[in-house]
Amino acid sequence: MKRVERAEILDYVTYEERRDSIRKAALAAKEPRRIHLGDDITILFENRDTVRYQVQEMVRVERLVKESEIQHELDTYNELLGDEGQLGCTLLIEIDDKEVRDVKLKQWLDLPENIYLRLEDGKKVYATFDPRQKGEDRLSSVQFLKLDTKGCVPVAAGVDVEGVRAETELSEFQRQALAEDLGRAAARGHT
């Protein structure tokens, strides 16, 4: 997936003026890319629109004007995008109760590598992640993953780790969004 470039990022004053419409478009882009796996786990597939929005928000909140700082945000958030044939996503562990969350983040240390996408042929493609995101005895509640589908559009997303086994079939709307992210014209019939 083509990375977001510096020329696409507005200064924070101009962005503030256009924020409502940009935010609305970004939320619309996120809608079909948000997949719930059971009660506590969500994966949000990232694309150029979601990454550009995140960078714009950082520029706005931090009031960034130095080119090096803006480029740092671009470099950081562009890492969320998958390479050719891959889908990049943010894994969110959403447990409101702090005590329960702390226990689960210790129990689910191997959660990131047990997130998968199921392809039409039934094959499961498991996530890869940057090991710097994981502590020795505790997982962060936000992880960044990549899944190499070799350009195939998944039909389901799932998790298979002790205490959490869930799989969600993807709707045609979701499959079409991921097909677009993979550079495919349509979600049907891709191998």
Q: What are the structural domain ranges in the chain?
A: 6-181
| 35, 157 contact by CB (below 8 A) | yes
The angle at the Cα of 8, spanning 6 to 12, to the nearest 5 degrees, equals: 85
Residue matched to tokens 């059971």: 38
pLDDT digits (tens, 9 = 90+) for 95-138: 999 999 999 999 998 999 999 999 999 999 999 987 777 778 88
User: Which range is least confidently modeled, 1-5, 23-27, 136-140, 163-167?
Assistant: 136-140
119-126: which pairs have CB atoms within 8 A and are 24 or more residues apart?
119/149, 119/152, 119/153, 119/154, 119/155, 120/152, 120/153, 120/155, 120/190, 120/191, 121/191, 124/158, 125/149, 125/154
- Mean pLDDT calculated for residue range 38-59: 96
